[in-house]
Structure 1
């Protein structure tokens, strides 16, 4: 019993593989009979596995002698059976100008270097029936009809014509700019730098307004506060406090100022170090006190002559020569606009020629 089941499963697998790998080639024609000059469409379909590759026949201009190929459409691919199989359709449009019954031989397709052929087809071409008993029904050649005026035919010409004028104006402007090699004179308004104590107080007001420590970010609060004080010390006393430790800053200040002015600042730096390195959680009054200590230190150490000083902005004149980059940009703009104008004129000329000739 088990042997029979095994044989049945094996046969099913082999048959399923054979079906999956089968290739079929079919050819169909939509009309078996046409008049001279009419067209018929031939569809060549190939069904195969998705992993296989097909090469369709290549024709020049005739399918067989007397049957001409008008157009070869792009192949259309459809996937079947969960993309395991695919169906490729190639369409050929043919016509004939000689009445006869044409035999269309099988069309061969190469699938993985193996040739498969379709069935043969037939095409009957009839000539136009002529009633020779009533010659009065034949009419001569009609005169050439004048095409009616349609605005749609002029849209492209009008759009290009409207585009030409601003492009010409821009081209003239760029040419004038590149020929005018005079230096560029600009007036620059220079805003003066605020005194150190004003900059520090502005930064402290910002920190105070954002209420960083009230949101639970004590480390960020003390980092920004001490950075503001370090920047003030650098600008006020002339040594780089941003690159020094807290103890080094205090020692340096003690050489310059009295101990009373530095004592409150020392407490601020000690608290900041505890918060940043020892995960100290300061209380609300401690944070407020350190903020006040920073303000008091700035007020006690600021220069008296700068307290009410209001610096005025100054205006300077900058004379620059046109850079090579600007010249290259101007030349590139001139070239691009010139090409666009030439293309527009060619297009307008061709459109007018087609409309009037």
Structure 2
């Protein structure tokens, strides 16, 4: 009993393996009869296992003598049985110009180095029937048919025609630019520098309006205040107060002015040094007093003609020659535009010739 079961199982497995590996090759023709010059399609199908590889016959120009191969289509592949099987279809288009009954021999397909052949086919080619009852009757040639007007044929021409105008205008502009080669003239307005007195008073007004000391920043307040005075002294008395210490500035001023004129300024510098280096916290009235002292120093030392002086802005004319790079770019643009216009005219001419010929 056990031997019988084992034998049946082995037969089933063997048969299923043989079925899975079976290869079928078939050739069909869509028309058995054609007229001279007509075409027929031969369909070659191979069914095989998905893992197998097939090699189809290759025909260069003739299938057999008298039957020509017009076209060999790309193989069409289709999977079957959950991608276990593969069906490949190859199509050949044939024709003939001699009336006869042609025998098409079996086609050979190689699958995994094993050759398989199809059945033979037949193709009957008929000549065009002739009116034997009226052999002298001839028909004149047909007249030339007029092609209907289609807007789609003119879209490219119209687009190129409209493109000619801006290209031509741009080309003319570039040519004029290169031909003139005029320098570039620019006018620059230069605002004059304010006199030291006016500049200092402008800065004091800004410091007063910002009220930096009320925001808990006395160090910034005295830094801006002393910087403004140092700048004024540098411009007014012609020595570099920006690079000098407070005591050096006071000593230098004493050589120029009387001691009473700079007494309040000396107190201002001392307070500023205490705030910046000793973290001194001055009172509000002390801050206001130091600002007033700075303004009084400016008023006492200013030059009389500075207060009402209103300098006028001057205008300079700068002449720049066009750079070589700009000229090269203009010439390159002219060359490209010229080539584009020539190509456009050639395209329009060829299209008109094709449409109107």
Q: Is the TM value for this pair above 0.5?
A: yes
Task: Determine if contact 2:171/2:338 at 8 Å carries over to the other structure.
Answer: no
Task: Determine if contact 2:226/2:272 at 8 Å carries over to the other structure.
Answer: yes
Deviates most, 259-268 or 273-282: 273-282
1:33 to partner: Cα distance: 11
| Structure 1 residues 328 and 268, CA gap change in structure 2 (3 angstroms) | same
What does the per-residue CA deviation read over 1:102-140, in whole Å, with 9 as the maximum and x for residues that have no partner? 899xxxxxxxxxxxxxx895523355899969979xxx9
| Structure 1 residues 345 and 102, CA gap change in structure 2 (3 angstroms) | closer
The answer as to 2:163 corresponding to 1:160 is: yes
| Equivalent residue, structure 2, for 1:335 | 331
Distance (whole Å) between structure 1 residues aligned to residue 275 and residue 232 of structure 2:
21
Q: Alignment length, in residue pairs?
A: 251
Distance (whole Å) between structure 1 residues aligned to residue 308 and residue 344 of structure 2:
71
Distance (whole Å) between structure 2 residues aligned to residue 33 and residue 265 of structure 1:
118
| Equivalent residue, structure 2, for 1:75 | none
Deviates most, 344-353 or 255-264: 344-353
The answer as to 2:92 corresponding to 1:125 is: yes
| Equivalent residue, structure 1, for 2:249 | 249
3-state DSSP of counterpart to 1:194: coil
| Equivalent residue, structure 2, for 1:175 | 178
3-state DSSP of counterpart to 1:124: strand
What is the correspondence of 1:84-95 to structure 2 with a 5 Å cutoff? Answer: none
1:101 to partner: Cα distance: 11
3-state DSSP of counterpart to 2:91: strand
| Equivalent residue, structure 2, for 1:282 | 282
Task: Determine if contact 2:189/2:314 at 8 Å carries over to the other structure.
Answer: yes
Structure 2: gaps (5+ residues): 1-27, 31-38, 42-55, 61-68, 78-85, 96-122, 131-141
1:251 to partner: Cα distance: 0.9
1:238 to partner: Cα distance: 0.3
1:331 to partner: Cα distance: 1.3
| Structure 1 residues 98 and 213, CA gap change in structure 2 (3 angstroms) | same
| Structure 1 residues 98 and 154, CA gap change in structure 2 (3 angstroms) | closer
Which one has a bigger Cα radius of gyration? 2
Deviates most, 167-176 or 149-158: 149-158
| Equivalent residue, structure 1, for 2:150 | 148
Which residue among 340, 347, 350 is the counterpart of 1:351?
347
What does the per-residue CA deviation read over 1:264-321, in whole Å, with 9 as the maximum and x for residues that have no partner? 2122222222222223333322222221121111111101232222333445666x4x
| Structure 1 residues 101 and 210, CA gap change in structure 2 (3 angstroms) | closer
Task: Determine if contact 1:253/1:262 at 8 Å carries over to the other structure.
Answer: yes
Distance (whole Å) between structure 2 residues aligned to residue 281 and residue 247 of structure 1:
21
What is the correspondence of 1:181-196 to structure 2 with a 5 Å cutoff? Answer: 189-196=189-196
1:167 to partner: Cα distance: 1.3
| Equivalent residue, structure 2, for 1:84 | none
3-state DSSP of counterpart to 2:200: helix
3-state DSSP of counterpart to 2:90: strand
| Equivalent residue, structure 2, for 1:211 | 211
Task: Determine if contact 1:66/1:97 at 8 Å carries over to the other structure.
Answer: no
| Structure 1 residues 305 and 146, CA gap change in structure 2 (3 angstroms) | same
Distance (whole Å) between structure 2 residues aligned to residue 294 and residue 355 of structure 1:
87
Distance (whole Å) between structure 2 residues aligned to residue 135 and residue 345 of structure 1:
57
RMSD of the TM alignment (CA)? 4.3
State TM-score, norm by structure 2: 0.57
| Structure 1 residues 100 and 174, CA gap change in structure 2 (3 angstroms) | closer
Distance (whole Å) between structure 2 residues aligned to residue 33 and residue 142 of structure 1:
37
Distance (whole Å) between structure 1 residues aligned to residue 295 and residue 73 of structure 2:
109
Distance (whole Å) between structure 2 residues aligned to residue 279 and residue 33 of structure 1:
109
What does the per-residue CA deviation read over 1:30-69, in whole Å, with 9 as the maximum and x for residues that have no partner? xx999989xxxxxxxxxxxxxxxxxxxxxxxxx98459xx
Task: Determine if contact 2:175/2:334 at 8 Å carries over to the other structure.
Answer: no
1:146 to partner: Cα distance: 5.1
The answer as to 2:305 corresponding to 1:305 is: yes
What is the correspondence of 1:73-84 to structure 2 with a 5 Å cutoff? Answer: none
Distance (whole Å) between structure 1 residues aligned to residue 283 and residue 29 of structure 2:
101
